[in-house]
Structure 1
Amino acid sequence: MQQGLPRPLHLFAVRASDSHNGNHAGLLHKLGLSDAECEAAVVASNVPEAPPIPPKPASLVGTPVVPSLPLNRRPRHNRRMPVLREAFQETTISPANFVYPIFIHEGEEDTPTGAMPGCYRLRWRHELVQENFIMLFYSVDSVVLFPKIPDALKSSTGNEAYNDNGLVPRSIRLLKDKFPDLVSEHNLRLIFSGANM
């Protein structure tokens, strides 16, 4: 940049404290300046120049040059009508693609999950079967179970995950007896006691 010409302030006219919100952190620190140095540079109107942009690599010899078309809108020749959109559709999603999450527990009543409003932990026997009838009515035939294990069964070795008569194995046996074609995706997680960690 020549002497006497003002530097372009619009490139880095930000406070260094703004860099902590994630918007400019990489840009300011790439220049090798601390937050205090950036603040001082902005106040003194001595804003550093942006790093140079590397040139585009040259095209290979013999590569044809295709000029861009002066279009003011994107051509959508195969998206004009619904019948054309269906003909060129790339992704088809059906109920067979979905996996229905079910939250279960040993209790006698359904309890709301705290983190997800409108979702409930179901009683493992009656409500679990009833929920699967509803799910299969909508042609969703895959389920994943999320158990709420009582704190008394949690241990530092996660023994409940190996219990053949645990909540998840019992639920899977119940569902397979009632719905033989049901796909049950589950994760027998090791559930550790937090006090011993």
Structure 2
Amino acid sequence: MPVLRGAVTFSRFRVEPSKEAPSDIKRSLPRGLKANAFEPIDRRSEDDRAAGFVELENADAVDFSVGRVFYGEYALFSFRIDSLKVPAAAMKAELAKWTTQFEAENDRPASRAEKTQAKAQIKQMLRTRTTPRTNVLDVSWNQNTQQLQVWAASRKVVEEILIALENALGLKLVALTPAAIAQASGIDEGALGPTAELIGMDLPAGAGAEVVHGEA
């Protein structure tokens, strides 16, 4: 739970108003999160991944009451991703066990069709026994500054969360990278390059370098 403790990498964005964005966030945000809430993987299906929003302090809770979403000026919640993968070693061992038993009972090797059917049954059995891998990423949204932070390092995961937020609330999110900040401030992007001092080069006598300071 990086928002409450610990240090992690996060991506930062600015929330910009749009025509689709709701005006009453305290009513619409919980409703939007609930409409896009996490649902566990159906082990009877072929799905091997599930993703959606959960409450910050309880990755199994999807009630999103106002008191569990808003903390002072912040809206805090999480995005949960579950993935279910049957271990290859377990699949191989179970199939070998089945093959041995089949040949002993039928006095012949199994046909390709019988093996295919057996594999499907074994995989389904192992799916019911395998524990999904869970990854929970926190999201914080400052309602005063309109800055939103996604506490994740993977660009692919960050993009997935952004798309989910945009779909849930009609938000427009702009990345607060150094280049984006410079552009919004009217600073030439070329001025963001490394200075001579940084890369260990000697400056000509009397020469100076313009340094742009900004919060990444």
- Give the TM-score category using the shorter length: under 0.3
Over alpha carbons, which structure has the higher Rg? 1
Give the structure with the larger strand fraction: 2
Q: TM-score, normalised by structure 2?
A: 0.18
Q: TM-score, normalised by structure 1?
A: 0.19
RCO higher in 1 or 2 (8 Å CA, sep ≥ 6)?
2
